[in-house]
Amino acid sequence: MSNNLKNELAVGKSEIGVGVERPRSYTNILPYILVFPAVMVILLLYLYPFLSSFWKSFISKEGVLSLANYNKTLKLYRYDILFTMGVTVLSTLIATVLSILVAVYLRLSKGWLTNGIGVLYRLPIFLPFVVVAQMMRSFLAPHGILNLFLAKLGLINIENPLQLFNWVGLTFGFVWKEAPFMILIILGGFQMIDNSYLEAAKSVGAKLPQIITKVLIPMNKPTILIAVTLVFCSLVGCFSFPYMLIGGKTPVTITVDIAFRVNYFGDYGVANALGVFSYIMVSLSALYYVRSMMRKGLYD
């Protein structure tokens, strides 16, 4: 082949873009440029405050490294830490079970009642916890709406009403506020499941409990885990509702203790130590979620 013919072929390839490579430097750096803003937001708003709080929790009032803050935290607030963990786990568990049942009903049923429930359950999602706390104080008060209603039915004596400004009322309020949010997420996952799977289960004689436990929940497990993780983390960090409902009573949640130590004593060391305990609670839920997702990815 002559040199002229080779040159013409090379020119033709370059014109139609064959064999022309993009600059490797630009291709390699582009993904990092795209994720840089998100990474910086995480570092500045999440990682830095966490590391700063974790480090300062080991600094005593004398400015030296010690476990004094943790000793004081466990001495004064160990029951509050257990109370926070217990109420959060109980509320999340009840909200999860209730959300799955309601989401299953909305997924499998049709009609005006289903449409009505589909509209009503979304309303609490848009209410902030401050508004929910004020509503619950009126609803759960010793002479509030709930006790007056039960007294009218003859179930209680209004002179000796139910005392619900405690873990019972806190759990009730948490479930009332967070269950609709979980329903919205879980129902979205259920609606992604094709009807052919449900019809196949019915064709082999599966009853409703088996359809729920063998088809809907296993196929929607990642979405349920997301909902559980989000709600659990939200409840651990909730301040306004426990503060307004329980106030200065004991035990109370960690967030109220943190505000108390900062506002009345200026004790940031103990407050940071309490924050570390809340980080640990949240991390347990997050690690379980990440581990489940990684295991699912390996099996898939």
Q: Where are the domains of the chain?
A: 79-299
CA 174/CA 124 separation, integer angstroms: 11
Separation of alpha carbons 212 and 193, rounded Å: 12
Q: What is the CATH number of domain 79-299?
A: 1.10.3720.10
What is the rounded CA–CA span in Å between residue 158 and residue 242?
A: 25
Q: Is residue 297 over pLDDT 70? A: no
- 27 has pLDDT over 80: no
In terms of pLDDT, which residue wins out, 286 or 149?
Answer: 149
DSSP classification of residue 134: H
What is the spatial distance between Cα 239 and Cα 204, in angstroms, rounded to a whole number?
50
Residue 177 half-sphere exposure toward CB, CA atoms < 13 A:
27
Range from 23-27, 145-149, 289-293 carrying the lowest mean pLDDT: 23-27
**Contact criterion met (CB below 8 Å) for 179 and 95:** yes
Whose structure tokens read 């963990």?
85
Distance CA 193, CA 197 (A): 7
Q: How many CA atoms lie within 13 A of 48 on its CB side?
A: 7
Mean pLDDT, to the nearest integer, of 178-204?
Answer: 91
> Does residue 216 contact residue 133 with C-beta atoms inside 8 Å?
no
| Alpha carbon distance 191, 103 (integer Å) | 9
Per-residue pLDDT at 82: 94
- Specify whether the CB–CB gap between 191 and 107 falls below 8 A: yes
* Cα dihedral 196/187/279/37 (nearest 10): 90
Collapsed DSSP state (helix, strand, coil) of residue 252: coil
Q: Is the pLDDT of residue 5 over 50?
A: no
For residue 181, pLDDT beyond 90: yes
- Residue 59, helix vs strand vs coil: strand
State the number of CA atoms in the 13 A half-sphere of 7 facing the CB: 3
In SS3 terms, 151-197 reads as HHCCCCCCCCCCCCCCHHHHHHHHHHHHHHHHHHHHHHHHHCCCHHH
Bond into 251 cis (ω within 30): yes
The two tokens of residue 146 are 């709930």
Lowest mean pLDDT among 12-16, 64-68, 124-128, 232-236: 12-16
Q: Long-range contacts of range 242-250, CB-CB < 8 Å, 24 or more positions apart?
A: 242/170, 243/133, 244/130, 244/133, 244/134, 244/137, 245/133, 245/136, 245/137, 245/140, 245/165, 245/169, 245/170, 245/173, 246/165, 246/166, 246/170, 247/165, 249/165, 249/166, 250/79, 250/80
Mean pLDDT along residues 26-51: 81
